[in-house]
Chains A and B, each alone.
Chain A
Amino acid sequence: MARQELLPGQKRFSIGAAAADVGLVFWFIFSLFPIAWMLLLALKNDQQQTTTYFQFSPTWSNFATVVSDKGTQMTSVDFKASLITSLINCGGAVIVSLVIGIPAAYAAGRWRYRGSEDLMFQMLSFRFAPELMVIVPLFVIYNQIGLFDTKVGMIWVLQLVTMPLVVWILRSYFQDLPEDLEQAALLDGYTRKRAFLMVALPIVRPGIAAAALLAFIFAWNNYVFPLILADTNAGTVTVAITKFLGGGGQAYYNLTAAAAIIAALPPLILALTIQRYLVRGLSFGAVKA
């Protein structure tokens, strides 16, 4: 058979590429499986949760139980309250991180001063050590200064997670920003502070959105800090989920799964709302390419 001429952009069929595609499809299914499994589990009743795979009588009652009930027979967790606590803790941590982190990132991105690199490195080094390593001293300190199981205490400790993220992400945004823009504002008659607020800040807004989203997700999913440093008052949703596993009594896997799905919703909603700010290239046209 004569070889057909190909149109521009048209590719010849190849076995290697087809095999790669099939492989990717399998990998995709495999990586989605935990989520699919969780969804299925959340729809099973107590009897079927450990005895069935794909065939069961689905029910929404688990979600209702998780949200409405102030705990099941085995647990005493107020899931709704922990959801709100999580929002306060993580929202608070992200806001504090942005308020302090944005100016810090700007300073770190714009000026080099004695020890500036060391300072940035030190901030990142919070993330080197496993949280478990610092949790015992933190627990002792929190107990002594009365921050144990307080929202202020949680916001403070979640800071360790979100601040380095915000500063490091935004620093690179500020570094990419041409200095000429702020200098132009200075010559227009604006002070450095106003030049920062008027020129630099609006341009890095996509970066701020991205950093805030990432920081929120990291704070939201943090488990070790709220597990050790909080209880009923400042306990977050990550800890509340595990309470459904029963702690020695009957494990409600179906309720755990339902709670996990609900807990995943706020970051998901936040990500979807913030998405339109995540466009880059906003500074295009400001300076010559």
Chain B
Amino acid sequence: MATVSISDLRKAFGKTKAVDGISVDIANGEFFVILGPSGAGKTTTLKSVAGLIDVDGGAVTIGGTDVTRVEPYHRNVAMAFESYALYPQKTVSENLASPLKSGRTGKYNESQRTERIDQVTTTLGINHLLKRFPRELSNGQRQRVALGRVLVRPADIYLLDEPLSHLDAKLRAAMRAELKQLGAMSNTTTLYVTHDYQEALALGDRIAVMRKGRLVQIGTPQQIWRRPADTFVARALGQPEINLLDGVVDDGRIRLGDGSFDVPVPRDARCDRGDRVRVGLRPCDIHVVDANADRSAIHGRVVLAERLGRNVELTVDVAGAELIVLASGREGVGEGAQVGLTVADSDIHVFAAGDGDTPRLGPVERESALEATQ
């Protein structure tokens, strides 16, 4: 258990800046998720904390000690690699015993080792695989062994690099739930890297959204979801992606599309009359109502209805603009139907106008100060 503090971390590979000035403080016992697309620098950040990368600048502090120039085997961190990195010539039990045998994670005799391995393999449900070699395991089993090699030893920090990414969807959901329940995980400071927003929202005490080597926003899942700092964060979270519509502010309303429909300006948005803005509406925040019953609703025609399990994804044509709406399916609207759409004022996100990633117009809970989680 330890705090982790990263300040102004920099690392370039050739001309590519993999990590470009990252600063973050992680509290003791916190489950901290770094979320970002591939190539954002997530793994580089993680390996910098592990000491596997010679950083170009900045500092990494673990438990109050500057470890920037400390060898990885002196840092007392455990890491699960995205590639699993199991030793191919060793069996599962030998793989799990490896960190216990190095002598740098504490001294264990044979029976203590067996006990620890037994404990962790029971938790992960892999104790029938102890005699097998990694090549004889499925991806899901390898994943568990890699996790087991992390959990089997006491460490100041757990570093998990996309530990669920190569599992199929069902197993991933199951493992996600398991991860959260692991006792060791809740007691040990954990840095978790993922590109899956659901994992981030489900697991993280706090989430840092990363793009091109920089942190775009740090906050609790709630803050990241409710108040995305810019359109990049807004788009990174949620499936289907958030709807972004160009609009003009006019008299407390924002006119959208060809100007024939509008939404109110949310209370905390900072924009003035005549401003050009982008409005973000999450598909799940848009509600389908009877087109005739609610005069204030936005009116449109359903172009496409796709059933996705428990939800129906509707593509609605509203005065030439296309809105994606996630409906429960109970409304019973089919393609070609006229529908009314409503959105709560607090679910309307206003961003600056322009192409690419534009910032939120309004308060963003950006935080970098140390925050206790429990």
Contact = CB atoms under 8 A, between A and B. Distances in A.
Interface string A164-201: 00000000000000101101111111110010001100
Contacts of A185: 87, 98
A29 interface: no
Contacts of A199: 87
Of B71, B72, B98, chain A has the most CB atoms within 10 Å of the CB of B72
Given A285-B137, A285-B142, A288-B166, A187 B77 contact: yes
Given A186-B72, A187-B79, A286 B98 contact: no
Given A187-B72, A189-B105, A288-B166, A282 B137 contact: no
Given A178-B83, A185-B98, A285-B135, A190 B73 contact: yes
Contacts, number: 90
B73 A186 contact: yes
B79 A285 contact: no
B135 A183 contact: no
A58 interface: no
Contacts of B99: 187-189
Q: Interface extent on B, as a size class?
A: 20 to 34
A2 interface: no
Of A189, A191, A198, A287, chain B has the most CB atoms within 10 Å of the CB of A189
Contact of B89 (A189, A191, A282): A282
Contacts of B192: none
A178 B99 CA distance: 19
Interface in B48-84: 50-52, 71-73, 77-79, 81-84
Q: Interface extent on A, as a size class?
A: 20 to 34
B85 interface: yes
A187 B85 CA distance: 11
B48 to A, nearest CB: 12
B259 interface: no
Given A283-B88, A285-B142, A187 B73 contact: yes
Given A186-B73, A286-B87, 17 more contacts: A178-B83, A180-B81, A184-B79, A184-B87, A186-B71, A188-B99, A189-B105, A191-B73, A282-B88, A284-B88, A285-B133, A285-B136, A286-B84, A286-B85, A286-B86, A286-B135, A288-B166
Interface of B: 47, 50-52, 71-73, 77-79, 81-89, 98-99, 102-105, 133-137, 139, 142, 149, 166
